Amino acid sequence: MQKHLQGQARTDGSSAALGIVVQESLLPAPSDLAKFKEIDPSIVAWMMQYADKEQETRIKAQEAGIKLEQDDMAAKIKAQEAAINFDLERAAVTKSEHSIVKTSLWLAFLIAVLFIGLSALLIFFGQNVTGTVFGGVALVLCVQAFLKFGSSRKR
């Protein structure tokens, strides 16, 4: 269970290159295995079994790590899809609200024109005070409605 390091150094006079190879083995070096076999002949078989079990455990741990990463990625994808769906729904609501507001503004404009037209008609028939008050009140109410709408849209 030692790590065996092997290194090389090379230089051409102006630069140097160093290469290191790390080799991790579950079994001791062959010379060490021979020494262990001299002590107890069955220990080498036991070490081989131990190395097999250790390798199986490492593989299972790596598979579990990969599964966790896959589950995490799937959860992130679902969260992004939910966020996209929420944005699409909000955009659809905003579009329908926009059409309602547009219709409301056109109706308010038409009502204002109608009231001012009625005011002009009253003034034309000699009802100067009534026509002026009627037209002024209609104009003030329309301006107030438009200003109130504009301030609510800014929030």
Q: How many CB atoms lie within 10 A of CB 141?
A: 14
What is the DSSP-derived secondary structure letter of residue 128?
H
Tell me which amino acid residue 114 is.
Answer: L
Which tens digit of pLDDT belongs to each residue from 76-106? 999 888 888 887 777 777 777 777 777 877 8
- Please spell the DSSP secondary structure of 48-101, one letter per residue: HHHHHHHHHHHHHHHHHHHHHHHHHHHHHHHHHHHHHHHHHHHHHHHHHHHHHH
pLDDT of 17 over the 70 cut: no
**Sign of the alpha-carbon torsion through 43, 48, 52, 55:** positive
Distance in Å from the first CA to the final CA of the chain: 68
Question: Which position has the higher pLDDT, 25 or 68?
Answer: 68
User: 129, 99 in Cβ contact below 8 A?
Assistant: no
Specify the pLDDT at position 2. Answer: 46
Q: Distance between CA atoms of 22 and 92, rounded to whole angstroms?
A: 59
Mean pLDDT in the chain? 79
Q: Look-up: residue for tokens 């104009």?
A: 139
H/E element holding 37?
helix 30-39
37 contacts 54 by C-beta, under 8 angstroms: no
Which of the residue ranges 64-68, 94-98, 151-155 would you say has the lowest mean pLDDT?
151-155
